Amino acid sequence: MDTINILGVSFSKRTMDDTVKLLQKQLASTDKPLFHLITANPEIVMAARNNPQLREIVEEADLITPDGIGIVLAAKWQGEHIPERVTGYDMLVRLLEGAKQQPFSLYVVGADEETNAKSVEIIKDRYPGVTIVGRHNGFFNAEQEDAFVADIEQKRPDMVIVALGAPGAEKWIYKHKSRIKAKIAFGVGGSLDVIAG
């Protein structure tokens, strides 16, 4: 078994290296449905216990990685071993770095307009293997949302990253799962703010 159940959430026991390899394999595939990755911290685990909608989202996710030392420790208390934290930011950086060998296209959703625009410029500069095919900030009305989801649907990026807070990003990906024609989508928390400095 490469997962462990912690308070109802099935966590991956993979290392960061193995997780990145799995995602790169997914990026190389041509015929797979959207892979919804969740990097879950203890807050999400607790919220999923009390929120049936969030529980359903978590149950349907394709991979849940331990984003927080609390999850690693909880595994230990259960007599299991999770080798390390696998956080959204670290994973994002590893995937962006990997684009040098394995180029991919990216759509960037979330954060305020200035942060979104700046992080896109920095990613373009820093990671030449990444082609950013579209972006939208994280503050939108229903009409704007429908328009940029249609843009994602049409552009079919390899990856969609979503900074809408947690569990805002997870809910958003789940809501649009059938229209996000991508290979991987995941919530990246405050990563765009970190990248934009």
Residues that bind ligand UDP (CB under 6 A): 110-112, 115, 138-139, 163-166, 168, 189-190, 192-193
Residue with smaller CB distance to ligand UDP, 89 or 153: 89
Count helices and strands in the chain by DSSP H and E runs: 9, 8
Of the two residues 26 and 39, which places its CB atom closer to ligand UDP in the complex?
A: 39
- DSSP codes of every residue in 78-100: TT----S---HHHHHHHHHHHTT
Query: Minimum distance from CB of 110 to ligand UDP (Å)?
Result: 4
Q: Amino acid letter at 134? A: G
Q: Kindly tell me which of 134 and 168 has the beta carbon lying closer to ligand UDP.
A: 168
**In angstroms, what is the minimal distance from the CB of 162 to ligand UDP?**
9
Taking a C-beta distance cutoff of 8 angstroms, is the pair 179, 32 a contact?
no
Task: Report in angstroms how near the CB of residue 191 gets to ligand UDP at its nearest.
Answer: 8
* Smallest gap from residue 120 Cβ to ligand UDP (A): 13
Residue (98 or 110) nearer to ligand UDP, CB: 110
Cβ at position 50, least distance to ligand UDP in Å: 17
DSSP string, 1-39: --EEEETTEEEE---HHHHHHHHHHHHH-SSPPPEEEEE
Please say which residue, 111 or 182, places its beta carbon nearer to ligand UDP.
111
What separation in angstroms does the CA of 141 have from each of 20, 39, 113, 168, 194? Answer: 34, 26, 14, 15, 25
Among the listed residues 166, 183, 181, the one whose alpha carbon sits nearest the alpha carbon of residue 57: 166
Within 8 A by CB and 6+ apart from 53, the residues are 171
From the CB of 79, what's the least distance to ligand UDP, in Å? 30
Instruction: Judge whether 122 and 193 are in contact, CB under 8 Å.
Output: no
In the bound state with ligand UDP, the residue whose beta carbon lies nearer, of 105 and 137, is 137
Determine the residue with CB nearest ligand UDP: 138
